[in-house]
Structure 1
């Protein structure tokens, strides 16, 4: 299944073919080769907004993951970050519950990720 990538960051270029191959290799390695995944690259301001909305933390973070698996009738898990599950449940209509192959979305704050990479943190 496809890996969908989108960027909302200007002045930063990505080798999408390379990132696509890497994402597919990781999915295959963890036994999810047929899964569909979305990856969104954002700036720090957008990430701060998402982190505040979904985790109640008014600061930027490097990565948020929105899992679409483990869906309970009409509910979707909130964002996950750094291995902690959000307690927030976001109700969605049953008709909009994801297809079984949809793994979820990953949001990456490019400026934060670049800073951390330069500092050797991640």
Structure 2
């Protein structure tokens, strides 16, 4: 299992050890113990720019996933799941709005992002995958 974490934001302190342990536990639970994933922690300005450039949505969001399997050569290294970009700023705002712990929200978003890397999609409301993601 290979996990790469880059923290490119300076607004909030993030327990990177907990993030790494959470990712390992989630990957193991999802049956992906031999997988590779990268996580990029950013602020709202950074994720807004990524969202605009790649998804044509000019706004910040909480998490964006880029699945390697969806790329042109995804089948070459299926163990490489892809990249998760998480806005720490949005996560903190959402946690406060829902009155939950900031790191619990980060863990929820890690699960959400990993499920996208594995092909689950909630964009299609008729999808049974959307229901699985809710659970």
| Larger relative contact order (Cα-Cα within 8 Å, sequence gap ≥ 6) | 1
Rounded to whole Å, the distance in 2 between the matches of 1:15 and 1:110 is 11
State the alpha-carbon separation in 1 of the partners of residues 52 and 11 from structure 2: 25
Unaligned runs of 5+ in 2: 100-104, 106-135
1:47 and 2:25 correspond:
no
- Say if 2:91 is the partner of 1:113: yes
- TM-score, L = length of structure 1: 0.74
Match of 1:7 in 2: 7
Match of 2:110 in 1: none
If the length of structure 2 is used for normalisation, what is the TM-score?
Answer: 0.67
Residue 50 of structure 2 aligns to a residue in which SS? helix
1:108: how far off? 0.3
In 1: Cα distance, 2:11 partner to 2:70 partner: 37
2: CA distance between counterparts of 1:98 and 1:14?
33
Match of 1:89 in 2: none
Structure showing the higher helix proportion among its residues: 2
Matched residue of 2:12: which SS?
coil
1:1-122 mapped onto 2 (5 Å cutoff): 1-71=1-71, 75=72, 99-120=77-98
Which structure 1 residue ranges, 5 or more long, are not aligned? 76-93
- Consecutive aligned runs of 4 or more in structure 1 exceeding 6 Å deviation: none
Q: List per-residue Cα deviations over 1:31-79 (Å, max 9, x = no partner).
A: 11110010000011110100011111100100000101244xxx2xxxx
How far apart are the structure 2 equivalents of 1:15 and 1:98?
Answer: 33
Decide which structure has greater strand share: 1
